[in-house]
Structure 1
Amino acid sequence: MTVIAAAPSLTAPPPAFTPDEALGLAERHFGRTGRLDRLTSERDLNFRLTTAAGDSFVLKIGNAAEPADVTDFQIGALLHIAARDPALPVPRVVPALDGRCSVLLPGGEVLRLLSWVDGHPMPRVPSNPALRRSLGLTAARLTRALAGFDHPAAGHELLWDIRNAARLRPFLPSVTDPRLHDLAALWLGRFDAEIAPALPGLPWQVVHADLNPFNLLTDPDGQAVTGILDFGDMVRTPRICDLAVAASYHADPARPLDTLAEVVAAWHAVLPLTAEEARLVPDLIAMRMVLTVVIAHWRAGLYPDNAPYILRNVPASGAGLAALTVAGRAAARTHIARATETRP
């Protein structure tokens, strides 16, 4: 399998539209105009659109390599969440003038308009117990709200999906730090031998799959999650992968098991883990760290000009992976078992 075949949307360059062109599309299809500010993105072209009245929206021009049905999948999920848990702080779909939720552009890109979600980017605040508990609670609410949602594109193949971790092996040489490389190789071996065979027996559903700090917003004091962004990596996979992704960025290297258990316990209070989910979640947290390290290094090599953005989560994931490995799988499972021993 070539790199292109494995992940075309990760290797295709983002759409190339000038701000004036993007603003013209917003006015033509959504009847909105104002000031555009470019937002960072790996695959798509995103702008904040602020109208003269002070209203804000996100104008999204999706990568042409992304199948149109995947975009429709994301739209359907947002509509489903709005109906199931209206208080969840996620973007709302803004229909076009003709009532469509998205517009297919001549070059294959998909144009959308979403409501703006206010908050402070999570990376600007330090992880703390209150924030970790809020993260676990909010992530569980989101996964619970997505329960029962399905779509023909839900089973699409995504390299970032933890269940596909075995596909990372061709990209391991891109991790040039010997220690990180060896840690990733160690966990990929464990994945093949022990983790992957257990995944089919877990509860599966559509999940967000990318609850990393850059997709989350907090209150000014950094005590609570106030926004969830970017549903571009949604996929049908073991539901516990959403918890694994969210928790993986909050492992304090000085005490990784205690900090991870705080996120897990809060999740468990909303969406109780099965015994097998509780047993496997430390391994899946480690595998998300591996994905972050390997995929980011590979993509940074493809797009060196955007490397600082692509590599932004690697230091935390690398440190967390090392600390979790040293702590040991048995100790991690014991901590998680204690955090989930009392069912709501």
Structure 2
Amino acid sequence: MLLTELLAGWRIPPGAHVGPTEAGSNNHTFRVTADGRSWCLRISQNMDRAQVLAEHRLLARLRRAGLSFAVPTPEPRIDGGTVADSPGGPVTLCAWIPGVRPDLGSEPALERFGRAAAELSTALAAVAPTDAPFDWRGGPLEDVPDVTALARDLMAAGLDADRAKVLRAGLDRALAAWAGIAGRLPQQVVHADLAPSNVLVAPDTGEVTGILDFEVAGYWLRAIELTVALALTGSTRGPDWPRRAAALTRGGAWGARLTADELHALPDLIVVRAAGSTLWRSTRWRRGQSSLAEVAERLDTLAAVLRWRSGAGAALGDVVAGA
């Protein structure tokens, strides 16, 4: 199905300009421009129609929550719905949210990021689990494949032996960590993917103008929101990671938001998240949706996380509490 045919269902004129967006490794996303307006068109590769509709219910709740930033607004189609079917997956069209990707090189920028994450977490706490695309209570390691077979397949495709060893070591460490966490921490609906690429800021002030991409939102651990924000902003990497982690958590007063058990679990949650991300990318690789290089990149990240956790990472809970 041609994009022009899909767009006609939203009354977008045939002469609209359509081009790929800068980011979006899990879906096909395009910027659509016509008559002085812009939209983002997304073809979902990881969600079915029911999950997309749940995402839209979640977004409707958030738009009524009085947030200081915007979230995607699905545009209604001619038939009154907000989802179109296509051979590539469910399709949605949302109004374009102004802003640029954040530069997180300074502590004030990290503080603003952490503050927006905390504001979103508060709003998501009121969302019913049925109004989220996923239920993650089993954790990202619930359906672990045959790791020996996965490593063999990856090596047959060209992955080196050292990275294959990281796969086994990382999953073993993550599974052991998850056994001590599962079912013991507060839960709520979470965004679960607060990467800088999913946040927009005003170019002049740096204030957050929008949070995007709720496709993996689901009912899970409340603390995973901070976990992911710390990991994906690079706030647990490098020799000055405690300073960066403190700035991000200080912005959202996360040390006061989380319980002592949540704070204690943060270093292990970083490991669990890195291992889960590696499995997610490996599964997409097996489906032909991701490259071997993307899997190798995740394995390199997992290796770095394991080194961090075995060294200074144990202090993360104290850093957050102190901030």
The farther-off stretch of 194-203 and 135-144 is 194-203
| Closer, same or farther: CA 166–95 of 1 in aligned 2, 3 Å | closer
Q: Secondary structure at the match of 2:281?
A: helix
2:265 maps to which of 249, 258, 280: 280
Contact 1:56 1:116 in 2 (8 A): yes
| Closer, same or farther: CA 314–224 of 1 in aligned 2, 3 Å | farther
| Closer, same or farther: CA 166–30 of 1 in aligned 2, 3 Å | closer
User: How many pairs does the alignment contain?
Assistant: 311
Match of 1:228 in 2: 211
Q: Distance in 2 between matches of 1:83 and 1:169?
A: 40
Per the TM alignment, residue 284 of structure 1 is displaced from its structure 2 partner at its CA by: 1.0
| Closer, same or farther: CA 315–221 of 1 in aligned 2, 3 Å | farther
Q: Does 1:51 align with 2:34?
A: yes
| Closer, same or farther: CA 88–314 of 1 in aligned 2, 3 Å | farther
Match of 1:7 in 2: none
Code of the residue aligned with 2:130 in structure 1: it is P
Q: Secondary structure at the match of 1:131?
A: helix
| Closer, same or farther: CA 332–292 of 1 in aligned 2, 3 Å | same
| Closer, same or farther: CA 328–305 of 1 in aligned 2, 3 Å | closer
- In the TM superposition, what whole-angstrom CA distance separates every residue of 1:273-303 from its partner, at most 9, and x where no partner exists? 1121111122212322333345435645764
Aligned ranges 1:100-111 → 2 under 5 Å: 100-105=81-86, 107=87, 109-111=89-91
| Closer, same or farther: CA 267–195 of 1 in aligned 2, 3 Å | farther
Match of 2:114 in 1: 136
1:256 maps to which of 226, 238, 241: 241
Per the TM alignment, residue 127 of structure 1 is displaced from its structure 2 partner at its CA by: 3.3
5+ long unaligned stretches in structure 1 = 1-16, 340-344
Q: Distance in 2 between matches of 1:258 and 1:80?
A: 35
Q: Does 1:23 align with 2:4?
A: yes
Per the TM alignment, residue 335 of structure 1 is displaced from its structure 2 partner at its CA by: 2.1
Per the TM alignment, residue 146 of structure 1 is displaced from its structure 2 partner at its CA by: 1.3
Contact 2:20 2:31 in 1 (8 A): yes
Match of 1:119 in 2: 99
Match of 1:335 in 2: 319
Q: Distance in 1 between matches of 2:208 and 2:285?
A: 29
Code of the residue aligned with 1:111 in structure 2: it is V
Identity, % of aligned pairs? 24
Match of 1:94 in 2: 75
Contact 1:162 1:241 in 2 (8 A): no
- In the TM superposition, what whole-angstrom CA distance separates every residue of 1:134-176 from its partner, at most 9, and x where no partner exists? 1111111112111121253747466xx8922354464562485
Q: Does 1:164 align with 2:145?
A: no
Q: Does 1:199 align with 2:179?
A: no
Q: Distance in 2 between matches of 1:315 and 1:220?
A: 32
TM-score by length of 1: 0.76
Match of 1:189 in 2: 172
Contact 1:126 1:222 in 2 (8 A): no
Per the TM alignment, residue 83 of structure 1 is displaced from its structure 2 partner at its CA by: 0.4
Q: Secondary structure at the match of 2:78?
A: coil
Contact 1:278 1:333 in 2 (8 A): yes
Contact 1:207 1:239 in 2 (8 A): yes
Per the TM alignment, residue 198 of structure 1 is displaced from its structure 2 partner at its CA by: 2.5
Q: Distance in 2 between matches of 1:253 and 1:141?
A: 27
The farther-off stretch of 180-189 and 109-118 is 180-189
Q: Distance in 1 between matches of 2:215 and 2:290?
A: 22
Structure with greater helix share of residues? 1
Match of 2:224 in 1: 241
Match of 1:13 in 2: none
Q: Does 1:322 align with 2:302?
A: no
Q: Distance in 2 between matches of 1:271 and 1:23?
A: 50
Aligned ranges 1:270-309 → 2 under 5 Å: 272-296=257-281, 299-300=284-285, 303=288, 306=291
Per the TM alignment, residue 310 of structure 1 is displaced from its structure 2 partner at its CA by: 7.0
Q: Does 1:76 align with 2:57?
A: yes
5+ long unaligned stretches in structure 2 = none
Aligned ranges 1:137-152 → 2 under 5 Å: 137-152=115-130
Contact 1:58 1:116 in 2 (8 A): yes
Q: Does 1:61 align with 2:39?
A: no
Contact 2:69 2:208 in 1 (8 A): no
Per the TM alignment, residue 36 of structure 1 is displaced from its structure 2 partner at its CA by: 0.6
Q: Distance in 2 between matches of 1:337 and 1:271?
A: 7
